[in-house]
Amino acid sequence: MRTRADIRPRRGSRTDMAAAEGGGGGGARPDAAVQRAELGPLLAAAPRPGESWYLVDSRWFKQWKKYVGFDSWDMFGAGDLSLFPGPIDNSGLFGDPETQSLKEHLIDELDYVLVPTEAWNKLVTWYGCIDGQQPIVRKVVEYGLFVKHYKVEVYLLELKLGESSDPDNVVSCHFSKADTVATIEKEMRKLFNIPAEKETRLWNRYMSNTYEQLSKLDSTVQDAGLYQGQVVLIEVKNEDGTWPGQHFLAKGSGFVCNSYNCRDSASLSQPGLCGLSNLGNTCFMNSALQCLSNTPPLTDYFLEDKYEAEINQNNPLGMRGEIAEAYAELIKQIWSGRQSYVAPRMFKTQVGRFAPQFSGYQQQDSQELLAFLLDGLHEDLNRVKKKPYLELKDANGRPDSEVAKEAWENHRLRNDSIIVDIFHGLFKSTLVCPKCSKVSVTFDPFCYLTLPLPLRRDRLMEVTLVYADPQHRPVQYRVVVPMMGAISDLCESLSKLSGVPAENMVVTDVYNHRFHKIFQMDEGLNHIMPKDDIFVYEVCKPSEDGSEYITLSVYFREKTMRQSSSTSGTVLFGQPLLISVPKHKLTVDHLYSVVLEQISRYVKFPLAEEYPTPCPDKGTCNGSSGVDEGDIEEMEHQDGGQEGKEKLAEVDPCHSEGCMQIESARDLQPCKKQHFTFSLVNSSGNSEINSIVEGKILKLNAFSALAIDWDSDTRRLLFDEQEAQAFEKHASMLQPQKKKAVVALRDCIELFTTMETLGEHDPWYCPNCKKHQQATKKFDLWSLPRILVVHLKRFSYSRYWRDKLDTVVEFPIRGLNMSEFVCDPRAGSYVYDLIAVSNHYGAMGVGHYTAYAKNKVNDKWYYFDDSSVSVASEDQIVTKAAYVLFYQRRNSEEHTAPSPPQEECDGMDTN
């Protein structure tokens, strides 16, 4: 039996010469199994310091994986030979194609993948790169002092370098975080022509003209705390041995004080109203710190030095007390009333030593930092010096009160700190087996509540409809589709707005002038990400004569001559087409006429009088003249520019059977030389896979890809680029979007406590059935802490999708009554007032964090935005940006710490 793998490309096909098609490299390629075997271990390797790794556009990489059968779904490892990826194409990663600078905010795995040098070299050898594209190579950098953590540094740090004598005239330069201050100094000496014998000093310049000397030349950029956009000035010593610094530093500027860079105010400010400088994407940290700083019981504990007696330097789970001490020093600075802002550099450095994910200057998550910080403070201040081993017992039908009391006591035997006193509560978790009805009840401590937001039921999508009528410009629509809907739902919704029948639509993702994906009707809309360019094609399926139609992809390519050699390559351009052709008319003649008609709006052909000689032979109108397509290309490439132009002038109108279907204005096709030639290509359009022979019925599959190849002169003369890209906007694009639904905080709590069935990938092991079951699970709240931290789960992740829910959640500023959600029948009153909010503005992975907080001294609300602090009013606080809420229990001063309930009491009131 002959399989697809047995079919060999024709002689002269450039499937074997991927790089010849797209540039550089492209030697003999081993088969799919060898490629998988050679690259598998390399791709699984962990980055090591000093190594170079390369960025590859994830779209190209995914296509390569499918081509060689690398994905887990390809159980036989057969691959898909129709998905040949062609040369490596990173153009989707460039913000500016000229400078080839990276787009901002690219996400690992989603936008690009990282491969080590050896893997990159193999891929380039096998496939080559697109002409003119430089490899995107980056170094592996080491983070953290105690916990080593290695990461590929995708984005270099931009520093603004200047001279102290002209501090406003700066030059941007990029450095690795592993570079030293000495490297910066060397670069600055070169930039500003400072002789080697001259003595220099380097200074950081912050906002409000605060300066700090960079005295340790062997310190790395990361350890020195330099951040994106930081201004660094170089100062040259005077001939008389003095420094000119007195002049440029005297202009109302401040100096550094101890480990915190702070600005002394002329008048004392209100304690607690102290901003935190942004050290470069550290607004997430500043937001979390301001919320904690305005948590009265915790701040009082540090200001009164109670922490000193409780520091646990020997806890293996802790950080030797260093996080607690750094936090204490920062809180004392904030509440001293002496500074209007401080730079939390020392604190950030300490956090980075123990949690390397926070050591860089990428945007992070304020809630993740908060979780780390509460856990770190707890372990640094844990009063339990030696944790006892405890065996967990199942409830086995015992009363909830007894099991809860036991769980809390066990928790306190191992965990006893100010954090547990203030922030810890108790969950009740109930699992029920669907087969044997076994009920499992457990009680678990928590430090904060993560509440789901009710998911939006629908989603807005912007798509462009390409009509079958070639004279109709494409139209952009905004459609409402179900959040978890299918492609068919998109088509139905678009059909209502456009009048085009849904069954005549084909939905595609167009990327770099090619179809990245052609969707099936039953595929989920979750495969489509917000940034994808979705084009929906109207494909006519007439059936008067009952003939079978086939839909083909058509790409535009321009043949280009290489400067380095006499060979030619091709470059994709324009918007691809989808055309439907009856199977019995699949000839080069008919395809030519159909394509000509489809592009007639933006390709303007010469009139008949320009072709004086009539076409003598009806039916010989073809682009191949019976010659193998590969040979034609070779001949064309040898023609030379002028001769090609002369040939254009020789051709005459033709009225063959296939041409007669075209309107009279379009039926003037060349006979001896057509405006373009056809090639059968892979789905990326960058490699030919077969010849197209004139005169025969072509045997093509649905969505086979054809390229129409133009020479540069013809494209320039006939192709109207502006009209080809033109589109219109439907009224749906101009309508104001509906106001988003508002959700109450209690809706989120109710959703959290709703019973759910575990997913098939997350089953529970039933001890009765002795197997994993999709049990039902229900969370309840048994006891709540003095300070209730509520994390609104705004960010959602999936394999295809990363999103932020910007729903407005209405939460009370005062009087949040949680009593009805507490299932302990003996519990007291749980009424809370808001004391702080961490806000997140913008999209996921980017954006900005701020905080609202209530000052414990004067009970007024303030807005904290990095180093700026301003008065706020209560009506400003509830917004769609609210991310983490801090509530304080009323009368909490009466409850100094949660303690186990008395023996005679069944309740689990831990406060």
Condensed to tens digits (0 to 9), the pLDDT of residues 372-393 reads: 888 888 888 888 888 778 777 7
Instruction: Given the residues 129, 262, 283, 671, select the one marked as catalytic.
Output: 283
Is residue 225 left, alpha or beta, with left meaning phi > 0 and alpha meaning psi from -120 to 50? left
Across the strands, what pairs with 839? 850, 882
| CA gap 644, 679 in Å, rounded | 19
Q: What percent of the chain has pLDDT over 90?
A: 15
* Residue located via tokens 């059935």: 769
Answer whether residue 361 shows pLDDT above 50.
no
With cut-offs at 50, 70 and 90, classify the pLDDT of residue 246: low
User: Across all residues in the chain, what is the average pLDDT?
Assistant: 75
Q: Are 39 and 145 in contact (CB under 8 A)?
A: no
Which pLDDT value is given to residue 602?
85
pTM of the model: 0.52
How crowded is residue 755: how many other Cβ atoms within 10 Å of its Cβ? Answer: 10
Tens digits of per-residue pLDDT, 855-907?
998 999 999 988 788 898 888 898 888 889 999 999 744 333 343 343 333 33
Here the tokens at position 443 are: 């009680």
CA 754-760-761 angle, 5° bins: 105
pLDDT of residue 186: 92
Q: Is 756 buried (19+), middle (13-18) or exposed (0-12) by CB count in 10 A?
A: exposed
CA distances from 252 to 181, 243, 269, 277 (A): 27, 18, 19, 18
Q: What token pair was written down for 26?
A: 């492209």
pLDDT at 545: 60
pLDDT of residue 889: 94
Q: What percent of the chain has pLDDT over 70?
A: 73
What per-residue confidence (pLDDT) applies to 536?
A: 93
pLDDT-derived band at 2 (thresholds 50, 70, 90) equals very low
Asked if residue 494 lies in contact with residue 510, where contact means CB atoms within 8 angstroms, the answer is: no
Question: Is a pLDDT exceeding 50 seen at residue 614?
Answer: no
Q: Which amino acid would we find at residue 677?
A: T
**3-class secondary-structure state, position 438:** coil
> What's the rounded Cα separation, in Å, for the pair 569 and 687?
10
Mean pLDDT within 223-237? 81
- Nearest alpha-carbon partner for 362 in 24, 105, 746, 724: 105
Q: Give per-residue pLDDT as tens, 632-646.
A: 333 233 333 333 333
Spatial CB neighbours of 692, under 8 Å, sequence gap ≥ 6:
588, 624, 629, 678, 679, 680, 698, 706
Confirm if 225 and 189 have CB atoms less than 8 A apart: no
- 25 sits in the region (left: phi over 0; alpha: psi -120 to 50; else beta) called left
Tokens of 211: 């300066």
Q: Look up 283 and say whether it is catalytic.
A: yes
Q: How far apart are CA 656 and CA 621, in angstroms?
A: 7
848 is an active site residue: yes
3-state helix, strand, coil in the chain (%, to 5): 25, 30, 45
Q: Which residue is associated with the tokens 């980056």? A: 138
DSSP annotation of 65 reads: H
C-beta of residue 510 within 8 angstroms of C-beta of residue 475: no
More confident residue, 58 or 654: 58
Q: How many CB atoms lie within 10 A of CB 65?
A: 21
Q: Cβ–Cβ contacts within 10 Å for residue 504, how many?
A: 16
pLDDT at 256: 38
pLDDT band at 789 (very low <50, low <70, confident <90, very high): very high
Mean pLDDT for the stretch of residues 17-24? 34
